[in-house]
Amino acid sequence: MQGALGPMIAQLLWDRSHYAGANALPYGSLFGAGYGQFFEGASIYEMPLRALVVFGFILPILLPPIAALSFTGWRGTPELRLLFFGGAALVASTYPRMDLPHLTYAAPLFCALLAILAASMPWPKLRTGLFIGGNLLAVIFVWSALAQRSREVSIDTNAGRIRAVEPDAVFVRGLEREIPRGSTLFVFPYLPIANFLTLTRNPTRYSYLQPGMMSDRDEAAVLADLRKNPPARVLYFDFKEKELLATWPATDPARCRFPALEKYLAANYHRVSAIQTSKRTFDVLEPNATLLGHR
């Protein structure tokens, strides 16, 4: 009745033809530096503790197959069958990006199912061992959460008060300083949260641009929007091909840039300042006088 069905179908078709290819990841993978990053710089004495933490992290990968192998325990109970098949549906919904972060969303139903099965085991010592192990993991993750929060600071932003670790706080303060509230801002190629934090208007129809997902037609649509409504600011950073392929390894290496958009920005905008963070430099661009004269 509100006309949303057509756009929804169009979006699903776009996801099928664009999102699935660049975002394909094997079951249980971890993009970027992978699982080895958890053990970098660890001494031999730290290894056992880190291994326990990693085991807690990878539980979402292990729970679905363990639950499937425990079918004799849940197949006769309707409530337990509901937990299993609900969890299986959530796992299926992560396709094609079946990595650890997305599988974590499916973990709660399997946690409940396996906790019920573990509590009904006829072996007291095994039940006790699982109970102790589960509580040890819980304590470690609670401690980690408390340690994380202790490193955060409060920041007043245009979008309200937020908490962030100091490196991220540096970036947020830079946004507050360099981007006027309520102005028009185009973020290129990838950082959709910037418009939210600054309460700025995006003159294009895309909140981010990932070369492996967007086609030449999408690039042309963004370019048309920019020419029609040139933004007052552009937040730009050079997304290196190596970093892009580490995040989206299924991306076509031949489609890691937006040459038409980059050419347009280079010809019509100039750098006025920069926001420096520990990971990268974000350039703040303003339109050239010639572009302003055509508005």
Query: pLDDT per position in the chain (295 positions), as tens?
Result: 889 999 999 888 877 777 777 888 889 888 766 777 777 777 787 787 778 778 878 888 999 999 999 888 888 889 999 999 999 999 998 888 888 889 998 899 998 998 888 888 888 888 888 888 888 878 877 887 888 888 888 888 888 888 888 888 888 888 888 888 888 999 988 888 889 988 999 999 888 888 878 888 889 999 999 999 999 999 998 888 888 888 788 888 888 888 899 999 999 999 999 888 888 889 999 998 776 665 5
Longest distance between any two alpha carbons in the chain, whole Å: 81
Distance of CA 3 to the CA centre of its chain: 30
CA atoms within a 13 Å half-sphere pointing along the CA-CB vector of 241:
8
SS3 187: strand
- Residue 280 DSSP label: -
Rg (CA), the chain: 24
pLDDT at 204: 92
pLDDT at 21: 77
Contact (Cβ atoms closer than 8 angstroms) between residue 187 and residue 203:
no
pTM (predicted TM-score) = 0.74
Angle (nearest 5°) at CA 293 between 287 and 295 = 80
pLDDT at 33: 66
pLDDT at 294: 57
What is the rounded CA–CA span in Å between residue 155 and residue 176? Answer: 10
| Helix (H) or strand (E) run with residue 217 in it | helix 216-228
pLDDT at 293: 60
pLDDT at 210: 85
pLDDT at 109: 93
Nearest to 176 by CA among 202, 152, 153, 156: 156
Nearest to 260 by CA among 228, 229, 226: 226
CA atoms within a 13 Å half-sphere pointing along the CA-CB vector of 224:
7
According to DSSP, the residues that pair with 271 across neighbouring strands are 285
